[in-house]
Amino acid sequence: MRFVRFPDELYRDCPQYVPALHSDQVRSLTRVAPLKYCSHKLWLALDGDRVVGRISGMINPRYNELYGKKRARFGWFDCIKDFEVAKLLLGTAEAWARTQGMDEIHGPLYYNTFGKQGMLTEGYDHIPPFNCLYNFPYYNDFVTQLGYEKECDWIQYKVVANHGVPDKARRVSKLVKERYKLHFGSIDKLKRDKDLVRKFFQVYNDSFATSVTNFIPLTEEEMEEEAAFVMPFLSDKASSVLLDEKGNIVAFGISFPTISTALQKAKGKLFPFGWWHLWRAMHNYEYTDLMVNGAAPEWQNKGVSSVYYEEMADKALKVGNRWAISNPQIESNSAVNIWNSYEHEPYMRRRCYLKKI
């Protein structure tokens, strides 16, 4: 619990920091599905009895096999503004990685691609979505002084959500739907159909396999775990799933009402009142977080994105959604160009660092 609670102390006076629920953090560190195949180790840096930093070292053998690497990863990295503390933490993780036969380390990352990742480099005055990291600017100074270099950047935008889509886009959407005989399914029905939920995550795996840096396909057990965690929060009010005439998933757009402010009020605890703040936030669609959009590989480059973006835009108008925050997207992914069709502004940039050890 000292490991889990340390950021709450470190960021006590930071209005942008969003604390994770302590129970979720304990679960992530002790019993999630990726730990069935990943190895990991946790360290605290102490000054006397006072915690001044923390870090986790991780090795994902599926990642190394898939990419032909010998890489460890670091995550849960937080420290006071003291270079020696950062040096101790990262040096300890690097030394452990070398004993495990690794020759590189990168991060901050999660065990797989589904968790929080990327050190914030721009947008410190903004509140991040609940599934994104926040850190002080000096973190970047420390890791670069220690020899870490940029591997990749993710970018996020703040998008005006209540302007709908242009008439031209609606015409394109109509033509694509008619040509391929596409229709929208019910998110509520999707949540109750285990086979369709499995297909959803399989499409997720397939759609990002070649377009997302460091992507690691979810295992069957991870799919079941994420479905149990995520699916209850999905709603037809903010999410869409596009199907072909045989009922197969073509594409999807998943959004949540923003819960970051509610998590700040909860202060890491569901009880006694944290659940109430979260419940209220889940019914307020003024701000939404665009969690993930994707299309099955065989449907990519066929214009299907115009179909579900139109649907998402129409739903945003119905529920009073004014602003949407995009999920982190690799800057080299051409999919980020979709935001040029909307009124938008830069929101956050985050970075994965890499070092040879």
- Please give the pLDDT value at position 177: 95
- Please give the pLDDT value at position 320: 96
CB atoms within 10 A of CB 327: 18
Please, what's the b/e burial string for 179-218 (b: 16 or more CB within 10 A of its CB; e: otherwise)? Answer: ebebeebebeebbeeeebbebbbbbbbbbbeebbebbbbb
Beta strand ranges found along 268-322 (DSSP E): 287-295
| Cα 22 from Cα 6, distance rounded (Å) | 11
Residue with tokens 């700040």: 264
Q: What is the largest CA-CA distance in the chain?
A: 69
For strands 323-326 and 287-295, give the pairing. parallel
- Please give the pLDDT value at position 233: 85
Give residues with Cβ within 8 angstroms of 133, minimum separation 6. Answer: 108, 116, 117, 118, 119, 120, 350
Percentage of the chain lying above the pLDDT 70 cut:
99
Amino acid at 311: E
- Please give the pLDDT value at position 164: 85
How far is the CA of 320 from the CAs of 162, 187, 190, 283, 310, in angstroms? 7, 19, 24, 11, 16
Prediction pTM value = 0.94
**Domain spans of the chain, in order of start:** 2-153, 159-350
pLDDT, tens digit, for every residue of 235-280? 999 999 999 999 999 999 899 999 999 999 999 999 999 999 999 9
How far is the CA of 293 from the CAs of 65, 98, 316, in angstroms? 27, 37, 15
Would you say 120 and 143 are in contact if contact means Cβ atoms under 8 Å apart?
A: no
Please list the alpha-helical segments (H only) found in 160-259. Answer: 167-180, 187-192, 194-208, 220-230
The two three-digit tokens of residue 78, written as one number: 């937080």
Is the domain spanning 159-350 CATH 3.40.630.30? The answer is: yes
| Cα 325 from Cα 158, distance rounded (Å) | 5
What DSSP character marks residue 217?
P
- Please give the pLDDT value at position 261: 97
Identify the sign of the CA torsion 177, 180, 181, 184: negative
Equal fold, 2-153 vs 159-350: yes
pLDDT, tens digit, for every residue of 164-174? 888 888 999 99
- Please give the pLDDT value at position 343: 87
Residue segments in the chain with a per-residue pLDDT below the cut of 70: 335
Closest CA relative to residue 53, chosen from 150, 152, 142, 151: 142
Which CATH code is given to the segment(s) 2-153?
Answer: 3.40.630
Between the two ends of the chain, the Cα-to-Cα distance in Å is 30
Q: What is the DSSP string of 79-107?
A: E-S-HHHHHHHHHHHHHHHHHTT-SEEEE
The two three-digit tokens of residue 349, written as one number: 């940039």
Task: Round the CA-based radius of gyration of the chain to a whole number and report it.
Answer: 21
For strands 344-356 and 149-160, give the pairing. antiparallel
| Cα 37 from Cα 109, distance rounded (Å) | 16
The two three-digit tokens of residue 123, written as one number: 């947008």
- Please give the pLDDT value at position 349: 98
pLDDT, tens digit, for every residue of 269-322? 999 999 999 999 999 999 999 998 889 999 988 989 889 889 999 999 999 999
For strands 323-326 and 71-79, give the pairing. unpaired
